[in-house]
Amino acid sequence: QVQLVQSGAEVKKPGASVKVSCKASGYTFTSYGISWVRQTPGQGLEWMGWISAYNGNTNYAQKLQGRVTMTTDTSTSTAYMELKSLRSDDTALYYCARGRSGSGSYPFWGQGTLVTVSS
Amino acid sequence: DIQMTQSPSTLSASVGDRVTITCRASQSISSWLAWYQQTPGKAPKLLIYKASSLESGVPSRFSGSGSGTQFTLTISSLQPDDFATYYCQHYNSYPWTFGQGTKVEIK
């Protein structure tokens, strides 16, 4: 069965960077893209971007352009999301998600990684 | 960017009630819309994709309709497990955005 397992919680200082991993199993990794979605405490869901695991093409949310980088390692079936120049409002639960074939809806989600930005 | 607006923000209902949540897109998204259910501490769960297709394993009391800019999620008979927050999400063009959520509370 499809599983997405994310790395553990992180605490970072303002201005630092964080890199969250998402290890996929149960399917051919290069056949699907991985998206990243975040959720601030008590708030809604924010789509951050998408990466093709086939060729590394990316599409990022405009508000995060220049601070976010998404990559994949096909040898380990792992996707990564790095966010730089962290601010307090980046404190959130970060999810990776995989879509269904040819669709942007997400039937598969990681368990979430809490990133706390605090001085 | 396409904005997704849900209404209401909060809904109070009883077990057995028929519940309808609306999602409006700021421009046409054809049928490229999904609905999710989220309970505290859990990742969102896909209920509906392509506006009206029921995800495998989701109870048939959930249904979706609409196209263009107006969409609805209907729960035909609310069950105890259905008290949660519901989100719509479009995937017509990047960036794919979510609605702000509708919390279904116990009346």
* pLDDT at site A44: 87
Instruction: Identify which of A47, A50, A100 has the shortest CB distance to residue B98.
Output: A47
* pLDDT at site B10: 96
Q: Cβ of A101 under 8 Å from any chain B Cβ?
A: no
Mean pLDDT across B7-22: 96
A66 token code pair: 């220049």
Q: How far is B22 from chain A (nearest CA, A)?
A: 16
Q: Do A42 and A100 contact (CB within 8 A), yes or no?
A: no
* pLDDT at site B16: 96
> pLDDT tens digits, residue range B34-93?
999 999 989 999 999 999 999 999 999 999 999 999 999 999 999 999 999 999 999 999
* pLDDT at site A41: 78
Q: Model confidence at A71, in pLDDT bands (50, 70, 90)?
A: very high
**Cis omega (within 30 of 0) for bond into B95:** yes
